[in-house]
Structures are given as structure tokens and as C-alpha cells.
């Protein structure tokens, strides 16, 4: 059964989005029609609006939570009425089947595409089941939308890619949606110190609520000096793990300088995880990799797959990860355009949600 839906459309060259009425057809194959209840505003969508250049209109939004309205004939594990997270990471069928990327007919022969294979900025979405994570009937918190992107990107950068372990000293640069999730992940993993770094005091206040043991405004204080003064292990000053959620040459180099050199004989220096991309290319001073034996790695979606996402959901349900605390404002879908503008102007701390 086809449904009338409202979706956000972005056209190349535009700064913002327009809301359009469309007809979504019945799902085919492995597709699932989901009624979206809440969707998050991710900064990477702003980047996508700037970068995409095919000229085709795009549907946006890559994290959401909702209820299955209809399933395609090949869908086996989901049923009408099931609650789901919509994520841009294919979580089923990997290596077995290539997920079908969503497209939507806008009428007059115009077909909108998607950048990540899914869209969540709208009243409904029509997605491949590979992009859906099942929830329980009790999982009604709209903040679970963040499991689709921000939470897994940040928490996974700390826990899975960064391999944060008990008693380690961690620095998180950038306390937006992803940074807050990295802080929560490091705290959950048992880090001794979690230093949150940002240029905005309001973001830092929020970081303390999510598990940061200390904060630093890098606009007014010297980050590297502070870390070397307050963190160390085995006589080597600096952090065991630094997560750069910004991804610029400046922050990636600060991260590398904050990481501690290898303890003599261990051959293992501090680790840096770059979890954000704002600048390409990023350049480094190379000697630290050799002499200090520091390690740097990139993280896409926190290195998570289905199993890790399900484990994270359990951590949320048991209260060990406060995903609700990362949501700082909620807007109506009709006001999505205004919320996107606020995101662009840097006025949103943490994560904003839009609800249908």
C-alpha cells in the first residue's frame, strides 16, 4: 500500500532544504516502509550538502527511530509494528547481499537519490532492511535515534576502535553529538580521566553531565600543555587515548601531541582516533610516529556492526550510557529547515532531534 509522505529534499547549490509531499510505494524485495518518529541532525549532512555534485536532488537524514509500517516480500526478521533504529551502516546482509539504496520519485520524472543509502528527514522512509536495527516495544525514547549515527560513531571510537580500557586517561576533542558519545563511551569503559575539549563553554557543561571528569576551553587554554601537566603513565606525559571528533589539521595535530610517548621497552605509544572529517588533506609532523611510537587511526561509524550496536543498546537500557542526555533540543518536522540553519550557524550543542 503506497503512503503519502513529507520528505526533506536538498538540491545542489542550495544551502537549505525544502519539504516536499511525495507518494512512497509499497516496499519491494528487502525494503521496509518505516514511519519515522524522530530523526537527528548530524553535522555531516551539512558537509554532504556542500559536497554532492551530481545535480540530482537528494534526500537527507541518516539516523532515526520509528515503527515498521510495511515490509517487502523478502523481509524475514521484521514485522509491521516493530520498533527500529534507522542507521546508515548496513547491519545485516553484509557480504551476502548488497543493500538496495533508497530513491524516491518526486514527480515530473525527477528521482531523488540518497547519499548514505537511506533518508530519515521526513514522516516516513523506505529503506533496505540492512539499515534497520530491531528495538523492543519498550524502547520508546526518541533519543534512540542517535544510535543510528552519533552514538555509534562516538562511543565506538572510544570503545571499539580506540580500545579504551579500565584506568586509562582519555581526551576527547570536540564536544558535539559525536564527542559526547565518545565521552560516554570512555566513561562506560572505565577510563580514569576523561578530558572534554571544546571552544564552547555550554558544550563543555554538557560534557560533564555525560561523564567528562574535567573540561578545557581550547580557545582560552593551551590544550597540549594542560594534558601533559595532568595526564601520564609510566613516566611519560600525555593521554593514553585521544579522540579527535573535529578532524582538522589543527585538532589532529593537537591530538597527536596530547598522546603520550611509548613507555620505554613497551613499543606502544598513545593512540589517536580521528572520528571526524572537516578538512582534506590533514598533514602531520611525522617524527612522533617513529620516535614516540604514537599510533593514529581513522574511525568510520565507530567500527561498529550489528553485534556492537546491539551491545550498545543493552548499555543504554541498563543506564550505563545516557543517550537522552545528548539531546539538547527537539524541533517539529515542519521546522526542520530552521533547525538546519541553526546547526549551520553552530547554535546547536549536543544533538537536535526533529519529531514528526
The β-bridge partners of 127 are 32
Residue 238 vs 276, nearer CB to Zn ion:
276
Residue 151 vs 207, nearer CB to Zn ion:
151
Spatial neighbors of 335 by CB under 8 A, at least 6 apart, are 354
Q: How far is the CB of 88 from Zn ion (least distance, A)?
A: 7
Show the cell assigned to 310.
546491539
Q: How far is the CB of 81 from Zn ion (least distance, A)?
A: 27
Residue closest to Zn ion when measured from CB atoms? 42
Q: How far is the CB of 149 from Zn ion (least distance, A)?
A: 3
Q: Is 265 helix (H, G, I), strand (E, B) or coil?
A: coil
Residue 147 vs 259, nearer CB to Zn ion:
147
Number of H helices and E strands in the chain, helices first, is: 9, 20
Q: Is 258 helix (H, G, I), strand (E, B) or coil?
A: helix
Q: Which residues bind Zn ion (CB under 5 A)?
A: 42, 44, 149
Is residue 190 left, alpha or beta, with left meaning phi > 0 and alpha meaning psi from -120 to 50? left
Q: How far is the CB of 122 from Zn ion (least distance, A)?
A: 16
Residue 44 vs 254, nearer CB to Zn ion:
44
CB 55 within 8 A of CB 10: no
Spatial neighbors of 349 by CB under 8 A, at least 6 apart, are 175, 176, 200, 202, 203, 206, 328
Residue 149 vs 196, nearer CB to Zn ion:
149
Q: How far is the CB of 69 from Zn ion (least distance, A)?
A: 24
Pairing assessment for the beta strands 63-71 and 31-40 based on DSSP bridges: antiparallel
Q: How far is the CB of 183 from Zn ion (least distance, A)?
A: 17
Residue 44 vs 157, nearer CB to Zn ion:
44
Could you give the CA distance from residue 243 to residue 246 in angstroms, rounded to a whole number?
9
* Residue pointed to by grid coordinates 514511519: 35
Amino acid at each position: 500500500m503506497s503512503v503519502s509522505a513529507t520528505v526533506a529534499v536538498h538540491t545542489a547549490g542550495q544551502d537549505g532544504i525544502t519539504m516536499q509531499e511525495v507518494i512512497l510505494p509499497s516496499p519491494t524485495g528487502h525494503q521496509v516502509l518505516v514511519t519515522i518518529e524522530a530523526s537527528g541532525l548530524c553535522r555531516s549532512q551539512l558537509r554532504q550538502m556542500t559536497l554532492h555534485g551530481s545535480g540530482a536532488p537528494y534526500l537527507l537524514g541518516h539516523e532515526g527511530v520509528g515503527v515498521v509500517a510495511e515490509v517487502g516480500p523478502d523481509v524475514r526478521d521484521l514485522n509491521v509494528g516493530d520498533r527500529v533504529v534507522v542507521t546508515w551502516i548496513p547491519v545485516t546482509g553484509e557480504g551476502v547481499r548488497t543493500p538496495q539504496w533508497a530513491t524516491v520519485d518526486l514527480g515530473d520524472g525527477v528521482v531523488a537519490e540518497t547519499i548514505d543509502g537511506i533518508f530519515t528527514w521526513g514522516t516516513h522512509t523506505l529503506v533496505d532492511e540492512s539499515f534497520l536495527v530491531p528495538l523492543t516495544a519498550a524502547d520508546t525514547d526518541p533519543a534512540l535515534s542517535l544510535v543510528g549515527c552519533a552514538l555509534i560513531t562516538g562511543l565506538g571510537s572510544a570503545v571499539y576502535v580506540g580500545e579504551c580500557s579500565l584506568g586509562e586517561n582519555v581526551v576527547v576533542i570536540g564536544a558535539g553529538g559525536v564527542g559526547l558519545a565518545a565521552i560516554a563511551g570512555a566513561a562506560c569503559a572505565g577510563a580514569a580521566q576523561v578530558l572534554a575539549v571544546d571552544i564552547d563553554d555550554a558544550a563543555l557543561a554538557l560534557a560533564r553531565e555525560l561523564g567528562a571528569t574535567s573540561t578545557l576551553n581550547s580557545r582560552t587554554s593551551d590544550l597540549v600543555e594542560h594534558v601533559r601537566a595532568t595526564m601520564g603513565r609510566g613516566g611519560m606525559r600525555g593521554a593514553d587515548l585521544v579522540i579527535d571528533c573535529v578532524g582538522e589539521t589543527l585538532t589532529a595535530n593537537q591530538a597527536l601531541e596530547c598522546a603520550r610517548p611509548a613507555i620505554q621497552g613497551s613499543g606502544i605509544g598513545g593512540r589517536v582516533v580521528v572520528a571526524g572529517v572537516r578538512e582534506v588533506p590533514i598533514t602531520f609532523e611525522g617524527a612522533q610516529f617513529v620516535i614516540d611510537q604514537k599510533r593514529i587511526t581513522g574511525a568510520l561509524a565507530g567500527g561498529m556492526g550489528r553485534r556492537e550496536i546491539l551491545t550498545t543498546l543493552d548499555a543504554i537500557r541498563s543506564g550505563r550510557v545516557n543517550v537522552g542526555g545528548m539531546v539538547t533540543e527537539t524541533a517539529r518536522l515542519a521546522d526542520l529547515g530552521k533547525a538546519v540553519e541553526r546547526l549551520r550557524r553552530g547554535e546547536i550543542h549536543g544533538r537536535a532531534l526533529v519529531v514528526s
